[in-house]
Amino acid sequence: MTAKENYRIHKEPFYQAQGNEVVLFEAAYAARLPVMVKGPTGCGKSRFVEYMAWKLGKPLITVACNEDMTASDLVGRYLLEANGTRWLDGPLTTAARIGAICYLDEIVEARQDTTVVIHPLTDHRRTLPIDKKGELVEAHQDFQLVISYNPGYQSLMKDLKQSTKQRFTAFDFDYPEAALEAQIVATETGLDGESSAKLVKVGQAGRNLKGHGLDEGISTRLLVYAATLIKGGVDARDACRMAMARPITDDVDIRTTLDHAIDATFT
């Protein structure tokens, strides 16, 4: 199996478009423009990128960024072995070589001195310098860089530099409108439409508390978790508490408010 096949998505991921984002992404890919996907936690950013990689028929290499990630984690490093040293490409280098879509998820979690390494890949140069090897990798013609982050959950110390932001085209994602979100939950889990709509109603009640005791609203992902539990035979109210209320807060008053919304919806 070739390197490309190792990263190719063979089964269509379920994704329900909210607007014209699919067409716009296709246009960005056709021009090999880098893309930034912005939106709250669990609203479908990663699923969208997976779907687009499948639709375009391109391999996808995903990196979950974190504060301990170094430039070497992206680019590569020498490994010490019994017979000497061996160079191992990092995920960014691998993507650039084979022509994959490289998706850096929650890039703002990475240190700013790490994210600087992506800059030469996001302009006319489309190159990746590997200083440790003295090599300049020219990106494959199919390579594209995609990043995501949650702008509503970042502190002043955790934001992208303007010099990085202005290298990307961008999409704003949000939670779907109620009817569409209920359809997504039902399609994803097989739960009936009425119960799915009730889950969305509870989710919206939680989202109304964002900024009033909650840092983040209840995500579509958590609605799917709750629906999965209900479909598996768990009582709806217990499923909502377990999947939607308890994960997002330890505040007793907020939990009580959410519990009341759950009980009022699933009577």
What digits encode the pLDDT tens for the residues 172-229?
999 999 999 999 999 999 999 999 999 999 999 999 998 888 888 899 999 999 999 9
Q: Which two tokens stand for residue 61?
A: 């290499």
Q: Report the number of distinct structural domains present in the chain.
A: 2
pLDDT band (50, 70, 90) for residue 156: very low
261 or 112, which is more confident: 261
Q: Domain residues for 202?
A: 178-265
Q: What are phi and psi of 91, to 5 degrees?
A: -60, -35
> Do 205 and 221 belong to one domain?
yes
Which residue type sits at 197? A
Which residue type sits at 7? Y
157 contact partners, CB below 8 Å, separation of at least 6: none
> Do 36 and 92 belong to one domain?
yes
Residue at which a domain ends, from 172, 204, 234: 172
pTM: 0.90
pLDDT value of residue 157: 52
What digits encode the pLDDT tens for the residues 226-254?
999 999 999 999 999 999 999 999 999 99
pLDDT value of residue 264: 96
Mean pLDDT, the chain, whole residue set: 93
Arithmetic mean of pLDDT, 3-26: 93
249 contact partners, CB below 8 Å, separation of at least 6: 213, 214, 255, 258
> Do 234 and 120 belong to one domain?
no
What digits encode the pLDDT tens for the residues 94-104?
999 999 999 99
Find out whether 210 and 175 touch, Cβ atoms under 8 Å. Answer: no
Describe the crossing of helices 220-231 and 178-189 by its angle, rounded to 10 degrees.
Answer: 40
pLDDT value of residue 28: 98
